[in-house]
Homo-oligomer: A and B are copies of this chain.
């Protein structure tokens, strides 16, 4: 830390430069400003951030100061998809040393509630999660974080790939909840970052055949490049559901065992519910709509269950193993890169908000 020539500074007891973070101050108002870290507890580490990706929710906060039922009421450092290098370790930390490259799991749960104790800590009501108000995020030179949420990168996994464990984790958790394996033929609705990582995770879990659906040709071409067996281009017209289902089933060549709705609109969910075989599952990942109008009863009458997904739990080791072994290659998802200056932060968020050809926008700090 505190190595000369580092422009935005560093921090810590030995540092001379100040830790800077990207603060969300208001709608469309993001400023790089000093960010004071909490003291390092015995089980904590201080991490020098090196790669931070932009998530749809970050953009949503920037544009509206809200996401789902969370509201930004105080200035908040943004960012939560991240990896970095250990700068300092707490007195009781055994498995990490300064210099280790790590990917960070962003949520700190309470371990005292019944959900935590049953192993569903992603649902902890006391969760403290990077950049979910009022908790600060990780788009900063340095953060302090519990050591058990920092996962050492295998040698052949880059820091950017480490940061990609966060979105990939959503796909991995969805695949676990839907019990994907070598007998599960998979439909993915939506080829955004989340649809794409879910597709890749499903493949890594063994899915023999995957069909992915979007309205956007570019995203479908990316999906095909990343390993989709078939892609299906659809409209946004709800009238076309039956026709889309027919097209999907033709592309699948066999039955759809599990569908992931990674868009979350009435139309995508209606399509998923209708396309899935009796006894199959539809996993709702996307959050496009709040209230949904969908043919839920006919699906229930075929025992097509609807499985919810909220973030992830215990996914980092598996994500790193998938990346290390080459079962998943997240690199092609990173379409744009920016440095950590005021101008670049603004540009990066605009690029991400633009959607389309920008899949994952990444900061290199």
Contact = CB atoms under 8 A, between A and B. Distances in A.
A3 to B, nearest CB: 30
Nearest to A95: B112
Interface stretch (A244-252, A293-301, A347-355): A293-301
Contact of A182 (B291, B303, B322): B322
Interface string A306-350: 111110011001100110010100000000000000000000000
Give how many copies assemble into the complex.
4
Contact of A300 (B204, B303, B306, B321): B306
Given A120-B119, A305-B308, A306-B306, A294 B297 contact: no
A291 B291 CA distance: 13
A117 B313 contact: yes
Given A119-B119, A278-B125, A325-B208, A269 B287 contact: no
Contacts of A242: none
B303 A306 contact: no
A317 B310 CA distance: 26
B303 A308 contact: yes
Interface in A114-147: 114-123, 125, 146-147
A43 interface: yes
A303 B309 contact: yes
A307 B281 CA distance: 9
Given A309-B303, A314-B118, A325-B208, A148 B112 contact: yes
A28 to B, nearest CB: 25
Nearest to A148: B112
A306 B304 CA distance: 9
A290 B279 CA distance: 18
A111 interface: yes
Given A119-B120, A205-B182, A327-B182, A284 B297 contact: yes
B279 A115 contact: yes
A296 B314 contact: no
A115 B148 CA distance: 13
Interface residues of A, number: 65
A42 to B, nearest CB: 12
Contacts of A208: 321, 325
Nearest to A110: B148
Interface string A273-292: 00000110000110111111
A183 interface: yes
A301 B279 contact: no
Q: Which of A115, A119, A294, A322 has the most CB of B within 10 A?
A: A119
Given A123-B302, A306-B306, 20 more contacts: A68-B298, A115-B278, A117-B121, A117-B314, A119-B119, A123-B303, A182-B205, A205-B206, A269-B296, A284-B297, A288-B297, A290-B297, A292-B293, A292-B294, A292-B297, A294-B296, A300-B310, A305-B305, A305-B307, A305-B308
10 tightest A-B contacts by CB?
A119-B119, A300-B308, A306-B306, A112-B148, A284-B300, A111-B111, A303-B308, A292-B296, A293-B293, A123-B278
24 contacts: A111-B111, A112-B146, A115-B278, A117-B313, A118-B119, A118-B314, A120-B303, A123-B278, A123-B302, A177-B303, A182-B205, A206-B206, A208-B321, A284-B296, A287-B300, A287-B301, A290-B297, A291-B297, A293-B293, A296-B306, A300-B309, A301-B310, A304-B308, A305-B306
